């Protein structure tokens, strides 16, 4: 052992040249290995900034950066540790003009996308009954995930609905480009397109790094896979870390084949297996290993326990979902008292978002604290959306969705009739509304008092845009908190607090709304801390990509001393002493969508999802099912999940209420 690493971990840390696949089983110390390896590369005289590490979450990136700082001390030069989307934003900021976009492009969130989709569907005369805005966005996202632009999407469309969607996609993408905007899928799609069309750009971007590391490689989609190959193919110092047994995001484009075929893509690749699990007891790992062995297409490996012994996982069955909830919560309550456990030591995992209802009802009845992970996002609140739209309009006059949201919020005399005139003129001229408002034609379109109100609003945006530009140009000479002060003065000037007082007469709700306004100001202040060069655009990028976490974020929810109720997908990366996996029935797990097709790949992913859920448990695991479950108001018989039989052996079946 060296530095607390086992021999396999040490092997991964010491291999510094060429392609390498690190198969990191659940709880095998993956993050520790990645950070030690980065530190080791730096110790071998590679400049930190020549190392790129890419992961999927901001939390993972921040944790890696912090661990490296602990290992090497504070250094001016740092490795580039980023999410895929954040790194693509940097690449596009430097090069997107080659694709015909402005350098100060806006990143649309889901709300902006749906607003634009609604507008597009109106233009092609498609009613909500035929296709909803969300349906169009989902179809466009599926096409973008497999790297299809509108012409290619039109060629692969088969059904009438897909042909309509392909028409919508063409108009949607054109409108986005005209507005100087991109969506999340574009960040990957356009980066891939940039590398493919402009090899000179690819060479410059790839030439910035001597080493590339990818975390959670099993979760890469087609674009991410090709972007990584483009960045690493010249120096070939590529290390990918992941576990095919934990590939559970096929529904959002992840392709497990990328990690399965790594040796084919990189024939000289070395493979290192991290099989020692430091999280769960031997009894829990035995159940996990038995289950995942039923998947045929996987790397040959097994989880080996660092903690021997432990209680055999229980399988409980109940007459109904109501009984399941009542008895599980009663069991949890007894365990809390007998073992003197905290509420945060327990998690109840579900396959679907509908399942928690009965458990919430029971937890409220017995007055136990709980949190359902994934409550309303801070960014979905009206006041937060208003302020961010205002800042986005200042940053990018072409951002039509942001402009139309706040053009008369708070009311400033620009009524619906004036807005309709501006939109009609913009459509006729093929220009964004913001560009038209700031040009000489505005006086022809808007007359009388309306023209004055529009001009006053344009002057406000121009004044604050000039201030934001001055702050960005000031660099290290800027005054601390300059951007935060800009937002505070803007809020005051437009009378936003007075507008909240008018809209929300209830003092408590008004106070909550103003707390959200204050949190946006705090967010800018936190962004400014410790940075030399800042800009409003950079802050908005960080917010949109989730670099800053506010309000009811997952981390804030998890910090509470409360029982966690969460889906199996949301549980990945977490661990708890006691885990209850509920609803272990055919149609729930595996999900009924996969049962309809009975496709082997789909069932395999459901099995991997169950495997992920099992390996969240550190000490005790309980799995449960209901013999009947309500469907459309009537109790229907259920079948135990096939995964239970695989865990306990095909010949055995769960019987009676209690331990199996």
Which residues are known catalytic residues? 30-31, 215-216, 246, 616
171/175 Cα distance (integer angstroms): 6
490/499 Cα distance (integer angstroms): 14
In angstroms and rounded to an integer, the radius of gyration of the C-alpha atoms of the chain is: 27
Paired strand residues for 621: 579
158/73 Cα distance (integer angstroms): 57
Q: From 640, 651, 650, 655, select the one nearest 610 (Cα to Cα).
A: 640
Q: At what angle do helices 507-528 and 496-503 cross, to 10 degrees?
A: 150
Structure tokens at 26: 């659940």
538/202 Cα distance (integer angstroms): 23
605/257 Cα distance (integer angstroms): 12
Q: From 122, 104, 115, select the one nearest 424 (Cα to Cα).
A: 122
Neighbouring C-beta atoms of residue 416, cutoff 10 Å = 8
409/419 Cα distance (integer angstroms): 13
Instruction: State the DSSP string of 526-567.
Output: HHHTT-SS--HHHHHHHHHHT-S--TT-HHHHHHSSSEEEEE
Cβ–Cβ under 8 Å, residues 105 and 92: yes
DSSP single-letter state for residue 108 = P
Paired strand residues for 307: 281
Q: From 563, 596, 593, 560, select the one nearest 578 (Cα to Cα).
A: 563
Handedness of CA 596, 598, 599, 601 (dihedral sign): positive
Backbone angles phi, psi at 655, to 5 degrees: -145, 140
521/59 Cα distance (integer angstroms): 22
Instruction: State the DSSP string of 110-150.
Output: HHHHHHHHHHHHHHTT--TTT--HHHHHHHHHHHHHTT--H
Instruction: State the DSSP string of 611-659.
Output: HHHHTTEEEEEEEEEESEEEETTEEEE--B-HHHHHHH-TT----SSS-
Cβ–Cβ under 8 Å, residues 232 and 206: yes
40/44 Cα distance (integer angstroms): 6
Instruction: State the DSSP string of 508-529.
Output: HHHHHHHHHHHHHHHHHHHHHT
Backbone angles phi, psi at 619, to 5 degrees: -120, -45
Instruction: State the DSSP string of 18-80.
Output: S-EEEEE-TTS-HHHHHHHHHHHHHHTT--GGGEEEEES-HHHHHHHHHHHHHHH---SS--E
């Amino acid at each position: 052992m060296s530095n607390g690493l086992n021999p396999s971990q040490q092997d991964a840390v010491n291999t510094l040249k060429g392609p390498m696949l690190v198969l990191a089983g659940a709880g095998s110390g993956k993050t520790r290995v990645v950070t030690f390896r980065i530190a080791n590369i730096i110790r071998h005289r590679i400049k930190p900034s020549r190392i790129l590490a890419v992961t999927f979450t901001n939390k993972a990136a921040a944790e890696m950066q912090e661990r490296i700082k602990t290992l090497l001390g504070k250094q001016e030069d740092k490795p580039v540790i980023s999410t895929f989307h954040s790194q693509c934003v940097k690449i596009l900021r430097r090069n997107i003009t080659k694709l015909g976009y402005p350098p100060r492009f806006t990143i649309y969130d889901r709300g902006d996308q749906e607003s634009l989709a609604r507008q597009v569907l109106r233009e092609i005369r498609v009613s909500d009954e035929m296709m909803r805005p969300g349906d169009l966005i989902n179809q466009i996202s599926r096409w973008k995930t497999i790297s299809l632009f509108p012409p290619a999407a039109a060629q692969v469309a088969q059904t009438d609905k897909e042909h309509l969607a392909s028409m919508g996609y063409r108009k949607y993408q054109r409108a986005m480009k005209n507005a100087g905007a991109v969506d999340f899928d574009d960040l990957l799609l356009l980066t891939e397109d940039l590398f493919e069309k402009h090899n000179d750009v690819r060479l410059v971007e790839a030439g910035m790094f001597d080493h590339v590391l990818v975390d959670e490689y099993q979760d890469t989609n087609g674009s991410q896979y090709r972007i990584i190959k483009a960045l690493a193919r010249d120096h070939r110092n590529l290390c990918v870390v992941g576990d095919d047994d934990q590939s559970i995001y096929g529904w959002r484009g992840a392709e497990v084949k990328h990690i399965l075929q790594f040796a084919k893509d990189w024939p000289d690749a070395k493979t290192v297996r991290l099989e020692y699990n430091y999280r769960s007891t031997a009894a829990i790992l035995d159940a996990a290993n038995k289950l995942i062995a039923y998947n045929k297409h996987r790397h040959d490996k097994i989880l080996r326990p660092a903690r021997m012994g432990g209680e055999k996982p229980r399988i409980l069955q109940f007459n109904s979902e109501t009984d399941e909830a009542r008895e599980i919560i009663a069991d949890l309550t007894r365990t809390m008292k007998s073992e003197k456990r905290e509420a945060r030591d327990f998690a109840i995992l579900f396959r679907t978002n509908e399942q928690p209802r009965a458990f919430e009802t029971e937890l409220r009845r017995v007055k136990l604290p709980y949190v359902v992970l994934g409550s309303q996002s801070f960014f979905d609140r009206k006041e937060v959306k208003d302020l961010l739209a205002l800042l986005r309009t200042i940053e990018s006059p072409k951002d039509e969705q942001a402009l139309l949201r706040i053009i008369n919020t708070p009311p400033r005399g620009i009524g619906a009739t004036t807005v309709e005139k501006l939109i009609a003129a913009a459509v006729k001229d093929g220009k964004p509304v913001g560009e038209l408002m700031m040009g000489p034609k505005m006086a022809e379109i808007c007359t009388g008092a309306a023209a004055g109100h529009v001009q006053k609003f344009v002057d406000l945006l121009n004044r604050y845009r000039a201030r934001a530009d001055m702050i960005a140009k000031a660099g290290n000479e800027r005054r601390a908190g300059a951007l935060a002060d800009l937002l505070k003065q803007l809020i005051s000037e437009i009378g936003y607090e007075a507008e909240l007082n008018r809209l929300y007469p209830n003092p408590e709700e008004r106070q909550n709304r103003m707390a959200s306004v204050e949190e946006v100001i705090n967010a800018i202040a936190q962004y400014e801390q410790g940075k030399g060069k800042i800009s409003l655009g950079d802050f908005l990028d960080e917010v949109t990509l989730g670099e800053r976490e506010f309000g009811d974020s997952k981390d804030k929810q998890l910090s509470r001393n409360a029982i966690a109720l969460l889906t199996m997908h949301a549980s990945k990366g977490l661990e708890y002493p006691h885990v209850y996996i509920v609803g272990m029935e055919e149609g729930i797990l595996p999900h009924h969508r996969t049962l309809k097709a009975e496709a082997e790949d789909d069932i395999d992913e459901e099995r991997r999802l169950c495997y992920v859920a099992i390996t969240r448990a550190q000490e005790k695991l309980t799995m449960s099912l209901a013999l009947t479950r309500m469907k459309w108001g009537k109790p229907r018989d259920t079948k135990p999940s096939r995964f239970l039989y695989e865990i306990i052996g095909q010949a055995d079946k769960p019987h009676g209420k209690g331990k199996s």
